[in-house]
Copies of this chain bind each other. A is one copy, B any other.
Amino acid sequence: MTTREELRTIALAEFAAAGYGATSLQRIAELAGVSKSSVLYHFESKERLLEAAIGPAIDRMNIVLAPLQVAGIGDRRAFLEAFVDFLLEYRLEVNMFINQGPSLVDVPVIERANELVRRLAAFFEVNSGSLEEKMRFGIALGGAAYMLCSAQTFDLTQVETIDETRAALITILTDLLG
């Protein structure tokens, strides 16, 4: 693993756990065992580091959404499975966005993610549905992100297999949105 990729991984974990504003470049550097200058060599600013941290997740989600742009959401169950796979693979990024996003206005990469959520909401016809349907969408999105990143709070640390988690998540989200 290159140092750059290592820094990206460490930064993402810290941003998700402690928050973007509360995480200093110095702390990231210490966790990586390099100097703060080295962090700023690989990423020219803290904001660029944030971009590198969650950008790939946005790109991936855009790919998941792309076919729906022309064909509509079609089979909800199939889409939810793809969505859950996305959540599991990018849980830290999603958690960070859910928790920190609202406070990071005018940050380009966060605006891109906000646009993504709006498109997602449109696919689920959130704004044409009832209030309850809107709320179901919000609860599913925020709740899945929260739950996936607070395993220890709920004594979920002994989660046996990723497959079981995936199946349970699909069942619950299908209940909420399917």
Residues of A within 8 A of B (CB): 17-22, 98-100, 102-103, 114, 117-118, 121, 126-127, 130-132, 134-147, 149-150, 153-156, 159-160, 164-165, 168-169, 171-172, 175-176
Pick 18 A–B contacts, CB within 8 A, sort by A. Answer: A18-B103, A21-B21, A22-B22, A22-B103, A98-B99, A99-B99, A114-B153, A117-B153, A126-B154, A127-B154, A131-B159, A134-B156, A138-B146, A139-B139, A139-B143, A139-B172, A142-B147, A176-B176
Contact A165/B103 with A19-B22, A21-B18 known, Cβ cut-off 8 Å: no
* Chain B residues, CB < 8 A from A159: 131
CB distance from A140 to the nearest CB of B (A): 6
Whether A141 contacts B146 by the Cβ 8 Å rule is yes
State in angstroms the CA–CA spacing of A18 and B141 once bound together. 20
* Chain B residues, CB < 8 A from A100: 19, 99
Oligomer: number of copies: 2
* Chain B residues, CB < 8 A from A142: 142-143, 145-147, 150
* Chain B residues, CB < 8 A from A130: 168
Residue of B nearest to A153 (CB): B117
Interchain residue pairs A-B with the least CB separation, the first 6: A142-B146, A143-B143, A21-B22, A138-B147, A139-B143, A132-B168
Whether B21 contacts A150 by the Cβ 8 Å rule is no
* Chain B residues, CB < 8 A from A21: 18-19, 21-22
CB distance from A130 to the nearest CB of B (A): 8
State in angstroms the CA–CA spacing of A156 and B131 once bound together. 8
